[in-house]
């Protein structure tokens, strides 16, 4: 993934998405073959999480009149993700697509901002799900946790709409920034694979 979003000045939002996607890629690469392991997302396996991430991004691209790429074969979720990501990065890098404005759910925004602040946000959270399901250590910096909290603040109660996040989980007042974020998103920070 060495492509940038513009020949001269890369779109910062697209770069944020690429950075978050690269972290998700590393987590999948370290998952071994545990594709059917259950995750902190109730009822979802690792394979289901990867399918969700790919499908929602494809839906967004299609909704913006962009090429969503071929449907991926989830027999190997890591390979499916890599092929999908290569396509998304190529799409964001064409014709200043990342800078294209549109009327989003919360007002005027850009495709790049949505990819970073919603789909990239989703990659961080689901990266945690996959990491924990496959026995990997996962944490983020306090700064990144705060940035993700700030993004979620902008969504208000929509954060808890069906299909987004479960209701918050209580944690100790002195819980880490990472644990507080997971709890806010309806995930038990102490969840362990069965």
9 pLDDT above the threshold of 70: no
CA distance 14 to 184: 26
Please report the pLDDT score of residue 103 as a whole number. Answer: 93
Sign of the alpha-carbon torsion through 43, 47, 53, 59: negative
State phi, psi for 110 to the nearest 5 degrees: -120, 165
The larger pLDDT score, comparing residue 41 to residue 63, is at 63
3-state percent helix, strand, coil for the chain, nearest multiple of 5: 55, 5, 40
* Confidence grade of residue 83 (pLDDT, cut at 50, 70, 90): very high
CATH ID of 12-142, from 3.40.50.720, 3.30.1360.10, 1.20.120.450, 1.10.1060.10: 1.20.120.450
**135 token code pair:** 């026995």
Q: What is the mean pLDDT of the chain?
A: 90
Give the range among 41-55, 74-88, 147-161 with minimum mean pLDDT. 147-161
**82 token code pair:** 């890599």
């Amino acid at each position: 993934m060495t492509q940038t979003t513009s020949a001269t000045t890369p779109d910062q939002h697209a770069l944020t998405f690429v950075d978050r996607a690269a972290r998700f890629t590393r987590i999948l690469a370290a998952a071994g073959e545990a594709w059917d392991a259950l995750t902190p997302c109730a009822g979802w396996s690792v394979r289901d999480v990867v399918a969700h991430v790919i499908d929602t991004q494809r839906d967004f691209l299609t909704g913006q009149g962009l090429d969503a790429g071929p449907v991926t074969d989830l027999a190997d979720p890591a390979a499916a993700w890599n092929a999908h990501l290569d396509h998304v990065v190529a799409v964001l890098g064409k014709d200043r697509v990342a800078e294209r404005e549109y009327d989003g759910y919360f007002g005027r925004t850009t495709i790049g901002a949505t990819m970073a602040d919603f789909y990239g946000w989703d990659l961080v959270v689901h990266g945690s799900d996959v990491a924990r399901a496959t026995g990997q250590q996962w944490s983020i910096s306090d700064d990144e946790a705060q940035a993700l909290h700030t993004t979620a603040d902008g969504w208000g109660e929509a954060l808890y709409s069906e299909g987004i996040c479960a209701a918050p989980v209580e944690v100790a007042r002195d819980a880490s920034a990472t644990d507080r974020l997971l709890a806010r998103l309806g995930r038990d920070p102490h969840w362990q694979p069965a």
